[in-house]
Chains A and B, each alone.
Chain A
């Protein structure tokens, strides 16, 4: 099969229809000889999506997901690069584990898998992991996170922020004050009062974000906030950015679409960390993503085995799958509402996350000379989410049965199709 493609009539960034030429893994400016033709009439072309926040569960919980199944789900969702979080078993806190994950990604070849290194040994929040060794490894780790746990000790957080400057790394903080959220089950507010579930106050997130903005400003480091979920967090990040501090933030698709009202079913498919919040929070998050206060959409794809979700609420695991639905949810929450155009979607789902993760080969404009990392989206298509059709090994999507707009038709990773016709290529 030839490596050359003509993507005919696609609309780069949702603009005017044109032909894109792909040869030898790059976009080129004239039609290569012997090219295969892909009819992209009506399709929007975007740079391949980049996820800053994915749980691939390997090593340790291969029953829930593997690097292979998770990265395939990513490709089907339009991603050409994902960051795999460190909370595996064993934890990705040494060069050996991050290199293993990186190699598994290479072998599968569905998308680039960039391991995230743990900030502290065993995610315990006590001692810094060997961040430099992970940065220097074959996996070339640049994003470090104890995601799932907060780096709560302010001194440790300060040291981590400072230390990663030596190799241009970034700490991605899971902002959650542990004492304020001991036993917490859902957003604290009207719904938790009614449902009798222990409340997870917004301040538990906001207080840590405020502290870490101040720390990053003080030591001149960059900090990234995982999955911000409250209107208050948005205000603090906006304030820190105005100060000129090097602060970035991500929001998940589910926090852009769902509110804590769905918890009234007690169905743990809606149980997630941070919890679903109120419609005021959803509104503020959408506005912040639109105005750039929030830099990126990140899935926090968190696959779980059925038995960890088919339980009473308090016994269930936190998390939702999201790789295959992310772009459609963003289309519903941001594009259909007029808050972002497709260029804006490309910026928040590819350009900026690539920049935060220091991924030079991704998030590039669709011009000759750029790596041919491209996703083709049918903006007019609508589809009903069926968990059984998912490439992920897990089924815990909160959108089962829901109709969503926008469908990924094809994904190219350095000129090679990983997805064609909405199916694995």
Chain B
């Protein structure tokens, strides 16, 4: 098994840019070790016993919250789910007061989902524990990028040198931002494809190529990542109609057929079947959408473990 220095991760995971190549590979390798656990009848490790992980979710996201919860529980951490609804947050409590409350409760890690870009950065100023960004506004979602990279490596054997097409609402997508940063760090060639209205001014400075033409990019893509079209964009004047969007930027069976033989199709979920992705594409053998969910648990276990500095690799070996 690969040996790594265990303390190389920064204290917080706020942006995919916080990870250099070595750090990112460390997370992926650790996740790979942990993924093997999932095949065993007893999936739980004692590594984070006595540590407290708080899931602080200001936005509804059952998938991401559950994924982090399963990850923390498999490492034997105590998990507290602190969701905005039904808590003091909905009564007007500030982010700072929430942070101080969690701090007083002794949270070792806070997994934060928030509708405001940068909210986890603010949180990191107010608490001593590690902060994991689980999606902040239209900024980033670094663990999603890690699980996507993990999925690519599983399916295609590598990330370096892969041609990755990220398609859709790049302007508002935290998944796109984190993936562009992480995948370029890992040596993939990324192209973002969108109607010009859904690309940010300044995208030309990103470490990726930019295209408006999906059909031109697909034949040389090893990975196609379709982004969800949010309902509010459909009515925000970014494109004339959902039908036209789907025709120009949706992945249907005809377009999928132009991909190279081994190419995979990814989606961070939840999907709009029939808008950005056709049902037969989502359900095809190229689709990794269900694997992505499973891999999300392994990658989040790796992140929590590495941030909280457990002694997992040894433990895993003893258990094996």
Q: State the A residues within 8 Å of B (CB).
A: 185, 188-199, 201, 265-267, 307, 310-315
Contacts and interface: CB of A to CB of B under 8 A. Distances in A.
Interface string B112-123: 001011110110
9 contacts: A188-B202, A194-B205, A196-B174, A199-B200, A265-B121, A310-B96, A311-B95, A313-B119, A314-B116
Contact of A192 (B94, B119, B121, B201): B201
A190 B205 CA distance: 7
A314 B202 contact: no
Contacts of A265: 121
Given A197-B138, A201-B201, A312-B114, 4 more contacts: A193-B206, A196-B137, A197-B137, A314-B137
A266 B138 CA distance: 13
Interface in B198-247: 200-203, 205-206
Contacts of A189: 201-202
B201 A311 contact: no
Interface residues of B, number: 23
The 7 A-B residue pairs whose C-beta atoms are closest, nearest first, are A266-B118, A196-B139, A193-B202, A193-B200, A312-B116, A190-B202, A196-B138
B117 A266 contact: yes
A281 to B, nearest CB: 14
Interface string B185-198: 00000000000000
A266 B94 contact: no
A313 B177 CA distance: 19
Contacts of A201: 201
A312 B201 contact: no
A344 to B, nearest CB: 35
B122 A312 contact: yes
A198 B95 CA distance: 20
B201 A199 contact: yes
Contacts, number: 73
Interface of B: 94-96, 114, 116-119, 121-122, 136-140, 174, 177, 200-203, 205-206
A194 B117 contact: no
A312 B118 contact: yes
B201 A315 contact: no
Contacts of B206: 193-194
Nearest to B118: A266
Nearest to B137: A196
A312 B139 CA distance: 13
A254 B285 CA distance: 56
Contact of B116 (A188, A193, A267, A313): A313
Contact of B139 (A190, A195, A315): A195
A310 B177 CA distance: 26
Nearest to A185: B117
Nearest to B172: A196
Given A197-B117, A312-B116, A192 B122 contact: no
A196 B117 contact: yes
A307 B94 contact: yes
A60 B121 CA distance: 32
B94 A193 contact: no
A266 to B, nearest CB: 3
Given A188-B201, A310-B94, A195 B122 contact: no
A312 B95 contact: yes
Contacts of B138: 196-198
